[in-house]
């Protein structure tokens, strides 16, 4: 796996890339759930790239660690250097632009959704952002300061308190409204991780609709 330079104290960040920059100048960073850089997120990135004609890049924010165990995934996410992860995302955006992409978007799921919102605030190289069921803490990013196009996707049955539940979603929307952020917010009759085929909450109809909206949004803004 290749790697790019990152301001993260861990140094270079491994990544998986797909697409051909000779055929498209639109770059899209796809951010992992708390499981790590597994086959599921790599396949999602390839699928989104094919749907929208994007060059997609998935940074390995855990530096090789991955799991299928909920408890271990919780430890991985809990021990993540979130500031460093934002620097990794900035490095990924710079990598795509150095390859010839004229604009770069970011999207992510669960943990990656929270980091997508944080990147929308803190990474100047990002031109558009889309978050799936994840919200960053106020200490990481003030979402009211987002000044790029934004799209959000959440489930009305999401039970992850303080991170993506309906109450958290309402607080997110209030902050975005107070900051006069230009955003679209889509709600689905689904639970957390409804786009992940390996999740018990996977809901194909909602997933297809949400990912189609993501592709249209990124094609409009990249």
pLDDT digit string, tens, across residues 33-55: 999 999 999 999 999 999 999 99
% of the chain at pLDDT higher than 90: 100
Q: What are phi and psi of 164, to 5 degrees?
A: -155, 5
Average pLDDT over residues 145-158: 98
Residue 154's Cβ-side half-sphere holds a number of Cα atoms within 13 Å equal to 25
pLDDT in the model for residue 21 = 93
* Other C-beta atoms lying within 10 Å of the C-beta of residue 119: 32
**Number of domains the chain is built from:** 1
Query: The domain spanning residue 208 has which CATH number?
Result: 3.40.50.1820
Helix (H) or strand (E) holding 195: none
Predicted confidence (pLDDT) at residue 19 exceeds the cutoff of 90 = yes
Mean pLDDT, all residues of the chain: 98
Identify the domain containing residue 100 by its residue range. 2-221
pLDDT in the model for residue 1 = 84
pLDDT digits (tens, 9 = 90+) for 105-139: 999 999 999 999 999 999 999 999 999 999 999 99
């Amino acid at each position: 796996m290749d790697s790019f330079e990152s301001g993260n104290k861990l140094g270079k960040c491994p990544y998986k890339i797909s697409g051909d920059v000779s055929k498209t100048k639109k770059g899209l960073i796809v951010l992992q759930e708390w499981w790590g850089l597994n086959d599921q997120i790599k396949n999602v990135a390839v699928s989104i790239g094919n749907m929208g004609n994007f060059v997609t890049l998935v940074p390995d924010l855990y530096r090789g660690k991955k799991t299928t165990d909920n408890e271990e995934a919780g430890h991985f996410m809990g021990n993540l250097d979130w500031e460093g992860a934002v620097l990794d995302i900035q490095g990924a955006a710079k990598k795509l632009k150095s390859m010839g992409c004229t604009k770069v978007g970011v999207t992510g799921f669960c943990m990656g959704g929270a980091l997508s919102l944080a990147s929308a605030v803190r990474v100047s190289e990002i031109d558009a952002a889309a978050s799936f069921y994840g919200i960053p803490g106020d200490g990481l990013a003030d979402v009211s300061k987002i000044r790029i196009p934004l799209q959000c996707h959440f489930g009305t049955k999401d039970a992850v308190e303080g991170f993506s539940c309906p109450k958290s979603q309402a607080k997110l929307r209030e902050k975005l409204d107070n900051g006069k952020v230009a955003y679209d917010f889509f709600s689905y009759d689904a639970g957390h991780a409804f786009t992940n085929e390996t999740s018990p909450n996977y809901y194909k109809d909602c997933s297809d609709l949400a990912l189609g909206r993501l592709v249209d949004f990124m094609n409009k803004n990249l």
